[in-house]
Amino acid sequence: MRQLLPTVLDRLGAAEAAQRVRALPALGGGEAGRATMPALERIARATSAPPDPIRAASQCAGALIRIESPGGEEQGSAQLVAAVTRLVNAAVRAGLAPADTVRTLAG
């Protein structure tokens, strides 16, 4: 998410939102997810960023929270795969080549 979301936002003409997303801490677990979700909402409101990629990234953060909750690993993992898939679809719709999207995800 850290690299793909700003790339998608840049492609969609939301450079300010992309810059703000780049300034967020890396999404490495539930605690970061708890901080990232409201930050993404603030970025979306403040910049009029396209909602779909922001929503998919927020869902990635929510999935990490669920993964770390007691008994939530399986459901959180499925939620994370679905959210990343939505972000990848947004990237391809924004004009990123599928191979470039996968390379960006692999980081």
Mind listing the pLDDT tens digit for each residue in 28-79? 888 889 999 999 999 999 998 999 999 999 999 999 999 999 999 999 999 9
3-class SS of residue 96: coil
CB 8 within 8 A of CB 94: yes
What whole-number distance in Å separates Cα of residue 103 and Cα of residue 106? 5
Q: Phi and psi for 70 in degrees, rounded to 5?
A: -55, 125
Specify the number of domains making up the chain. Answer: 1
Could you report the per-residue pLDDT of 2-37, keeping only the tens digit for each?
Answer: 899 999 999 999 999 999 999 998 888 888 899 999
Query: 103: which residues sit within 8 A by CB, 6+ positions away?
Result: none
- pLDDT exceeds 80 at position 107: no
Tokens 């936002």 — which residue? 9
Domain that includes residue 16, residue range? 4-106
Mean pLDDT of 70-92: 96
- Regarding pTM above 0.75, the answer is yes
